[in-house]
Amino acid sequence: MASPLVGIVANPASGRDIRRLVAHGTVFDNNEKTAIVRRILIGLAAVGITRVAYMPENDFGIVPRALDGLRNPGATSPLRLTAEPLAMPVLGTGTDSTRAARLLVEMGAGCILTLGGDGTNRAVARGCANVPLVPISTGTNNVFPLFIEGTLAGMAAGLVALKRTATRAIYRAPRLEVSLNDTPTESALIDVVVSSLPFIGSRALWDFSTVREVILSRAAPATIGLSALGGALLDSQPDAHGISGMHIVPGNEGPEIQVALAPGLVTWVGIREHRRLAADDSVRCQPGIGTVALDGEREIELAPTTRVEVRLCADGPFVVDVAAALETAARAGYMQR
Amino acid sequence: MTVKDAAPSAHALDKSALLRMYEQMKTIRVFEDRAGKEFASGKVPGFVHLYAGEEAVAVGVCSHLTDDDFITSHHRGHGHCIAKGVSVREMVAELLGREAGACSGKGGSMHIADVNKGMLGANGIVGGGFPLASGAGLTAKYNGKGQVVVCFFGDGAANQGTFHEGLNLAGIWKLPVIFVAENNGYAESTPVTYHMSCRDIADRAAGYNMPGVTVDGLDVFAVYEAAGEAVARARRGEGPSLIECKTYRYYGHFEGDAITYRTKEEEESYRARDAITSLRNSIIKRQVATDAELDAIDAQVQNSIDLAWQYAEAAPYPAPEEALTDVYVKYP
């Protein structure tokens, strides 16, 4: 039987935004992304994947560079793996990631690895349907993708594509559907923030005084960025549902909480009100000139009368739990010979 | 951090600030379009390298500077001069080699300078601005008055040895220098995808102990925000920064360039995101000003450029006996 196809979407633009100036973010350079992809490819090949398709880009050529001179020092035979660029135009925007994901679905990919931040994964999630993702963090304020060793990510993705993992190795993430003037327009994976900043500009948000409302798809500890508000507002009440988001309105009337708004930027902020959200709960945001940020990046400029509504949805992308994938494959005997 | 030390908020961009940005960007565009036409007609001696398309970078950055701050520029320097406040008619006179020029007609397009405005000079040497900027940064640090220096440079210059020397000095001495890369995709005719090992100039900041960020150089607000933070950082004494602005030049490397190395479709894709049109649309959409107000600025800009050319064309050439004046420093 032919090897299943595994996809790679590596965003060359992530990891360089203004948070290196306003906080203590680290530049995530493309040579490092190339090294990660190289390790991914070796991980994929090690578990038996021979077919890879990837998003082409005119920026850096992360995957072609990773393929150049690729070899696994731990293997006795050369890598039998072909990696082909997807047949698609390159626009150099986030839509490339969405288009690549759609093509990979059409081609029957068994798993898609992503390299980027929350924004990259948001773009991929728009197109990846039911194909599970292995999201690797190469951005800044990342909640959705994880810092994980590329080799292990590649092995886990390969094992998922080969259907050698148990069902508990894959879970479904929630998403936030954003409607503008009652028309569903955008989707976010982690947070939707309405800001008073009037233009998209450098995209990131780091000044809490400009934040009008925050809607989170999950209230989780150990996150960074405005999603950290949810973790700081956790209380002794257990989560009522599997999916538990939050709506937060800043203000000086309520308690202050301490949050990490960006790498190396920790501050106390006032919260006027907050409430938990269950699946299908909606939030109608206060109108006014400003911007809507999706997963940490300003994306939509609002006219004074634009109506913004955000709904928590259970039908986000499927995501691989890398540790569980490797564990269940090992327990099933796939790591032995 | 006190409010005084912080970068200006985006809300500081009120109507007058936005219209000033629009006027400056428009002035650069009309200046360059006119210079291109006049060069083609044979009126302008020497070379000209036009900045049209990259206006958001010069204006977004220089909006944070005063006459006490310094900038260094390069061969494509007209936009920097205008954004830093150099007289447009003195610039035209300089292009035409007239005595009334910013450098008495001896510099031409590639050497316009105005030290009273903190404009330390366009520069015919690719990468020539880095040592000057670090030197000016040392002066600024020594003066202790909160002055900053901006070093504009292109993607080709980022491969010169002076880039590494200048950034290293700024890094070790924590100089108040903001290195602004205008990455327009081509070093003369060589695409950045071929000539640069790391592709993103911002990646190189890590080697010199300074933050490096990449912004959309066609979005004046993105440039403004990043530059504001970097300038504030430098004024606070926290050292240099590197801002890479992804941009595009509408004209060739120099006037007369046949531009065989890029496609018309590529140029059109950038023109579709034109920085000045985007700013205009943003101003209108947010009801900051009306079309009529912006049209009036357009007309006033056109008039000022027309008058500058009339003035310069009527101005005399320097006398032959002035040939060595201002060329050598006289020591007592």
Report the candidate in B180, B153, B164, B166 with the shortest Cα–Cα distance to residue B244: B180
A76: in domain = yes
**The pLDDT value given to residue A74:** 80
Across the interface, whether the CB atoms of A60 and B199 are under 8 A apart is answered yes
Helix, strand, or coil here: B128? Answer: coil
Tell me the chain B residues in contact with residue A90 when contact means C-beta distances shorter than 8 Å: none
**The pLDDT value given to residue A221:** 81
Across the interface, whether the CB atoms of A16 and B282 are under 8 A apart is answered no
Check whether residue A302 and residue A321 sit in a common domain: no
Determine the Cα–Cα distance for residues B252 and B255; give it in Å rounded to an integer: 6
**The pLDDT value given to residue A140:** 67
Which of A18, A199, A203 is closest, CB to CB, to B282? A199
Preferred mutation among A22, A32, A59, A305 to probe B, highest tally of B CBs within 10 A: A22
Quick count: other Cβ atoms within 10 Å of Cβ A117? 28
Structure token digits, residue B294 = 């912006």
Residues B141-183 pLDDT 10s: 999 999 999 999 999 999 999 999 999 999 999 999 999 999 9
Q: Walk across the sheet containing A191-195 and list its strands.
A: A256-262, A265-277, A245-250, A211-216, A191-195, A290-294, A297-302
Cα end-to-end distance, chain A, whole Å:
19
Determine the Cα–Cα distance for residues B321 and B30; give it in Å rounded to an integer: 35
What is the interface size between A and B, counted as CB pairs within 8 Å? 93
A65 touches chain B (CB under 8 A): no
Domains defined along chain B, listed by start: 10-313 (3.40.50.970)
Check whether residue A40 and residue A140 sit in a common domain: yes
**The pLDDT value given to residue A304:** 87
Check whether residue A136 and residue A269 sit in a common domain: no
Decide if pLDDT at B203 tops 80. Answer: yes
Its pTM stands at 0.92
Check whether residue A183 and residue A152 sit in a common domain: no
Preferred mutation among A32, A140, A199 to probe B, highest tally of B CBs within 10 A: A199
A46: in domain = yes
Which of A22, A30, A200 is closest, CB to CB, to B203? A30
**The pLDDT value given to residue B2:** 45
Domain holding A189: CATH number? Answer: 2.60.200
Nearest CA in chain A to B1: A22
Residues B82-102 pLDDT 10s: 999 999 999 999 999 999 999
Which of A21, A198, A289 is closest, CB to CB, to B213? A21
A283: in domain = yes
Check whether residue A257 and residue A308 sit in a common domain: yes
Helix, strand, or coil here: B182? Answer: strand
* Band of pLDDT at residue B251, cut at 50, 70 and 90: very high
Check whether residue A260 and residue A196 sit in a common domain: yes
Which of B9, B10, B200 is closest, CB to CB, to A199? B10
A290: in domain = yes
**The pLDDT value given to residue A306:** 93
Check whether residue A29 and residue A49 sit in a common domain: yes
Q: Which amino acid is at B49?
A: H
Decide if pLDDT at B1 tops 50. Answer: no
A179 touches chain B (CB under 8 A): no
**The pLDDT value given to residue A141:** 65
Interface of chain B toward chain A, CB-CB under 8 angstroms: 9-11, 13, 193, 198-200, 202-203, 205-206, 211-215, 219, 221-222, 224-226, 229-230, 233, 241, 243-244, 282, 285-287
- CA distance, residue A41 to nearest chain B CA (Å): 21
A337: in domain = no
Number of domains in chain A: 2
Check whether residue A16 and residue A155 sit in a common domain: yes
Reported ipTM: the value is 0.86
Across the interface, whether the CB atoms of B229 and A58 are under 8 A apart is answered no
Tell me the chain B residues in contact with residue A12 when contact means C-beta distances shorter than 8 Å: 199-200
What angle is formed at CA B130 by the lines to CA B129 and CA B136, rounded to 5 degrees?
A: 85
Check whether residue A42 and residue A184 sit in a common domain: no
Across the interface, whether the CB atoms of B211 and A200 are under 8 A apart is answered no
Which of B198, B213, B286 is closest, CB to CB, to A20? B213
Tell me the chain B residues in contact with residue A26 when contact means C-beta distances shorter than 8 Å: 206
A29: in domain = yes
Q: Which amino acid is at B82?
A: I
Which of A13, A29, A199 is closest, CB to CB, to B198? A29
Domain holding A37: CATH number? Answer: 3.40.50.2300
- The domain of A236 spans 175-313
Across the interface, whether the CB atoms of A27 and B199 are under 8 A apart is answered no
The dihedral sign for the CA sequence B269, B270, B273, B276: negative
Across the interface, whether the CB atoms of B225 and A31 are under 8 A apart is answered no
- pLDDT-wise least confident of A65-69, B45-49, B117-121: A65-69
Check whether residue A15 and residue A143 sit in a common domain: yes
Mean pLDDT of chain B: 95
A296: in domain = yes
**The pLDDT value given to residue A117:** 87
What percent of chain B shows pLDDT beyond 70?
Answer: 99
What is the mean pLDDT for each group of 10 consecutive residues in chain A (337 residues)?
91 81 81 93 95 92 89 79 95 91 98 93 95 89 86 98 97 97 95 94 90 93 87 74 85 90 91 94 94 93 93 97 97 95
A78: in domain = yes
Check whether residue A296 and residue A230 sit in a common domain: yes
Tell me the chain A residues in contact with residue B215 when contact means C-beta distances shorter than 8 Å: 17-18, 202
**The pLDDT value given to residue A254:** 83
CB A205 within 8 A of CB A192: no
Determine the Cα–Cα distance for residues A134 and A40; give it in Å rounded to an integer: 11
Check whether residue A205 and residue A227 sit in a common domain: yes
Across the interface, whether the CB atoms of B215 and A202 are under 8 A apart is answered yes
* Band of pLDDT at residue B3, cut at 50, 70 and 90: very low
Which of B10, B202, B233 is closest, CB to CB, to A16? B202
Quick count: other Cβ atoms within 10 Å of Cβ A106? 11
Contacts 24+ apart (CB under 8 A), A267-275: A267/A208, A269/A208, A269/A229, A271/A229, A271/A233, A273/A248, A273/A249, A274/A229, A274/A233, A274/A246, A274/A247, A274/A248, A274/A249, A275/A246, A275/A247
